[in-house]
Structure 1
Amino acid sequence: MRIAVIDGQGGGMGKTIIEKLRKSIGEGIEILALGTNAFATANMVKAGANEGASGESAICYCCKTIKLDCIIGPIGIICPNSMLGEITPTMAECIFSTECRKYLIPVNKHGLYIPGVKDMQINDFIEEIVKEINSSKNT
């Protein structure tokens, strides 16, 4: 199973996702850390990603050419100009158009409000995603 974790800014959410995936699933998956910047990518690689790449060109290349089973990241990865402009319209389009399952963590930022999710913490969403991936990996 090949999973891309996409994050920006400091890569803190991506780092947490990768750590929880490694703890739950171990080395049985390949994790590709795609950061909008080198700092985010470095933090995700330190957390246990197999490989990392940074920037618009790398993210679009990986989404278009690498067979991914899923993408995980904050909902902003499909919103043009989100994450303080780190997600370009081209990146959002490439990520959204990639033919794989996308696990999007709802964060009440980017001018988005998603009803029904305000009572959950980011760690709760990540745990739910890890459980889902673990169960789909075994089927």
Structure 2
Amino acid sequence: MVIAVIDGMGGGIGAQIVSNLREELPTYIDIYALGTNSIATSAMMKAHANKGATGENAIITSVKKANIIVAPVSVTMPNSMMGEVTSKVSEAVIESEALKILLPIIPENIELVGLENKPLALLIKDSIKLIKNEFNIK
């Protein structure tokens, strides 16, 4: 099983996701750190992802191999993350057959109505619970 974690900017969110996935899930699950820039990829690799790759083509290629994608919802929005998310990246994420677990961390000028405002740590725990339930992982 492959879980692709996508992040940009400084990679802090992705690093927290990778770290929690690594703590909670069995070691046979591969975690791919897919950064929109090298700083984000590096942060996620330091959090113990199995493999890491950077940039548009790496993300487009790697999400095809993923069973699960975990990322901020902004990866589905072209030009988000200060322009780091390209149209091709957002299209590849949406078109991937992987289960997409998207955290409601969005650009400032967009509001999603009806979402419970939870701290990042709880969003990550909810994501891991969803993965465990969806794929019957103990």
Indicate the TM-score class for this superposition, using the shorter chain for normalisation.
Answer: over 0.9
Equivalent residue, structure 1, for 2:52:
52
The secondary structure found in structure 2 opposite 1:61 is: helix
Give 5+ residue unaligned stretches, structure 2.
Answer: none
Unaligned runs of 5+ in 1: none
* TM-score, normalised with respect to structure 2: 0.93
User: Any idea what SS the aligned residue of 1:72 has?
Assistant: strand
Cα RMSD for the two superposed structures: 1.4
Deviation of 1:135 after TM superposition, in Å, equals: 2.2
Contact preservation (8 Å) 2:63, 2:98: no
Structure 1 residue 117 displacement after superposition: 2.3
Q: Could you tell me which residue of structure 2 aligns to residue 117 of structure 1?
A: 115
Describe how 1:1-139 pairs up with structure 2 within 5 A: 1-64=1-64, 66=65, 68-109=66-107, 111-138=109-136
For 1:41 and 1:122, the matched residues in 2 are separated by 19
Give the fraction of aligned pairs with identical amino acids, expressed as a percent.
Answer: 39
SS at match of 1:119: coil
Report if aligned partners of 1:82, 1:110 keep a CA contact under 8 Å in 2. Answer: no
User: CA offsets per residue over residues 69-88 of structure 1, 9 Å max, x none?
Assistant: 11000011010000000001
| SS of equivalent to 2:3 | strand
Give me the whole-angstrom Cα distance separating, in 2, the residues matched to 1:4 and 1:121. 22
Contact 1:83 1:110 in 2 (8 A): no
Q: Deviations over 1:81-104 (max 9, x none)?
A: 000000011111111111111000
Q: So what's the TM-score if we normalise by structure 1?
A: 0.92
| C-alpha contact (below 8 Å) 1:75/1:104 kept by paired residues | yes
Write the deviation string for residues 22-81 of structure 1: whole angstroms up to 9, x where unpaired: 1111413110000000110011011010000000111112123x2x11100001101000
- Aligned-pair CA distance for 1:108: 4.0
- Secondary structure of the residue that 1:28 maps to in structure 2? coil
